[in-house]
Amino acid sequence: MREIDFDGNAPGRLTKESGIHGSYLAFVPNRLPPAIELGMETIRRLADAERAIGELDGIGRLIPNPMLIRSFIRREAVSSSRIEGTVTDVEQLVLFEVDQTDDDQRDDRQEVLNYMNALLYGIDRLKTLPISLRLIREVHERLMIGVRGEDKTPGAFRTRQNMIGRIGQNPAEARFVPPPVAAMNEALSALEAYMAYPSELPVLVDLALIHYQFETIHPFLDGNGRLGRLLITLLLNERGRLKSPILDLSSYLEINKDVYMDHLLAVSRRGEWNAWIVFFLDGVTERSKIAIGRCEALLKLWERYKTEVHKRSRSSGLLKMLDKLFETPAVSAKTIERELKVTNKTAQKMISELETLGVLKEVTGKSRNRIYLASEIMKTIKTDYL
């Protein structure tokens, strides 16, 4: 970082630090909220975002099959992880959930699966614990355990300097250097206090500020980006704006990755808050509309499949299996045996009936350990509806 890149509008201060590579600058953000005036364009975009997420929340509360929720979380997990360089798509993740053996991209798949599990844990934990540094550490531990970065103290805030840049790069040449440890701890305490009390700012604007602040503090040695994006979903839930985690905002951030990163840096360097907030709000609007379309398409497909199954069979087990497919649209005989507590013969019969209906199709080409994909469900999950 260079001092010349930061002007008088920067919402923080530069400190001179030293390390094994010599001296470098680190950025310490001011406490939230910043002294900003929302422009008319920002207010207009806020109205659009409020309207879209309100409609999405209404649809989410009416979803009769809670198993549909996992499909939305999977989209968020895949996109958030891909921003960090993980190579996994939704279908690959689903197949990995069914069979985790013989996968040469196992590390990538597990990272995304960890994101899903961490998000689900966080949503459940909010029933007994508010968003706090304790909750953030607990979620981070589940995000990082057993994957790359596990050696970087999952669930614990960093005790040494980190930076945003290339591995092995001199901090003086890094794109951004977060606050040193002592200042980091102070900033975290201030952020926790800010999140604990209602702000006078609109909730969605507040979330944009909090996301920026968390990413700027960068309190972990690894996993900051994923945790920061996951925190958006938790805050939407805690503040009553989105009961079900069905907004995959990270898909928007992934598509616009470079712009996303540049906006965060522009806030630090020049205090360009309105531009960042507008970008954030546009993402909420776009992805809310897409999620609404996906909800409607999945519900329509679910109702059609239920009708077709009813015409063919009165088996409650087959309907339960159908519900499971909307949670994880791939199965094996073993997973059916385990989850529905049926015999292998019954599991094979269920698979055969859903194959006949065109719901399932075998995708491995193997004679043993076969996996069946619900391709129409998968296509619906992967499609962006606008």
pLDDT given at position 43: 96
| Beta partners for residue 19, in sequence order | 22
Residues 16-61 pLDDT 10s: 999 887 899 999 999 999 999 999 999 999 999 999 999 999 998 8
pLDDT given at position 377: 94
Question: C-alpha angle with apex 250: 57 to 84, nearest 5 degrees?
Answer: 155
How far apart are alpha carbons 116 and 29 in whole angstroms? Answer: 30
pLDDT given at position 317: 84
Alpha helices in the chain (DSSP H): 40-61, 69-83, 90-98, 106-125, 133-144, 181-196, 203-217, 224-238, 249-255, 257-270, 273-312, 316-327, 333-340, 344-356, 375-382
Q: Which residues contact 316 (CB under 8 A, 6 or more apart)?
A: none
Question: C-alpha angle with apex 117: 111 to 122, nearest 5 degrees?
Answer: 125
Count Cβ atoms within 10 A of the Cβ of residue 375 and give its class: 0-12 exposed, 13-18 middle, 19 or more buried: middle
How far apart are alpha carbons 224 and 202 in whole angstroms? Answer: 25
CB 17 within 8 A of CB 170: no
How far apart are alpha carbons 100 and 109 in whole angstroms? Answer: 9
CB 206 within 8 A of CB 144: no
How far apart are alpha carbons 84 and 82 in whole angstroms? Answer: 5
pLDDT given at position 187: 98
Low-confidence ranges of the chain (pLDDT < 70): 102-104, 149-151
Q: Domains of the chain (ranges plus CATH)?
A: 3-293 (1.10.3290.10), 314-382 (1.10.10.10)
Q: Tell me the pTM.
A: 0.93
CB 156 within 8 A of CB 268: no
CA 19 to chain centre: 34
The tokens for 254 are: 């992934």
Across all residues in the chain, what is the average pLDDT? 92
